[in-house]
């Protein structure tokens, strides 16, 4: 067995801060994923769910960050932890 310490490789990800606007989410999703929004999200009267690699997530609260990972998967992230763990390199307005 091998063990030791490791440093995670830096990777660039796409992110979006959910504020309840489905149109903004759809515009962002189309730009980064290039597939129908229904392929990765469930949108209904109750709110928004992300189809993660592990299955559907819980309802996404406003201001949560949605991340597109290195395998092109999507998952929600708590904003405070996101900004503690990621350096934002481009906060562009694409809308």
- What pLDDT was estimated at residue 95? 38
From 61, 86, 58, select the one nearest 15 (Cα to Cα): 86
pTM comes to 0.82
The pair of three-digit structure tokens given for residue 46, joined into one six-digit string: 């109750």
CB 29 within 8 A of CB 37: yes
Model pLDDT for residues 37-85, shown as the tens digit of each residue: 999 999 988 789 999 998 888 889 999 999 999 899 999 999 999 999 9
Q: HSE-up of 67 (CA within 13 Å, CB side)?
A: 18
Strands (E), the chain: 14-17, 41-44, 47-52, 55-56, 65-68, 74-77
């Amino acid at each position: 067995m091998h063990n030791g310490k490791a440093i995670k490789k830096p990777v660039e990800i796409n992110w979006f801060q959910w504020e309840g606007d489905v149109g903004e989410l759809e515009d962002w999703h189309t730009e980064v994923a290039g597939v129908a929004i229904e392929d990765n999200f469930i949108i209904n009267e109750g709110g928004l769910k992300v189809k993660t690699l592990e299955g559907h997530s819980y309802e996404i609260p406003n201001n949560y960050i949605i991340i597109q990972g290195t395998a092109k998967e999507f998952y929600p992230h708590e904003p405070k932890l996101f900004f503690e763990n990621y350096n934002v390199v481009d906060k562009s307005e694409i809308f």
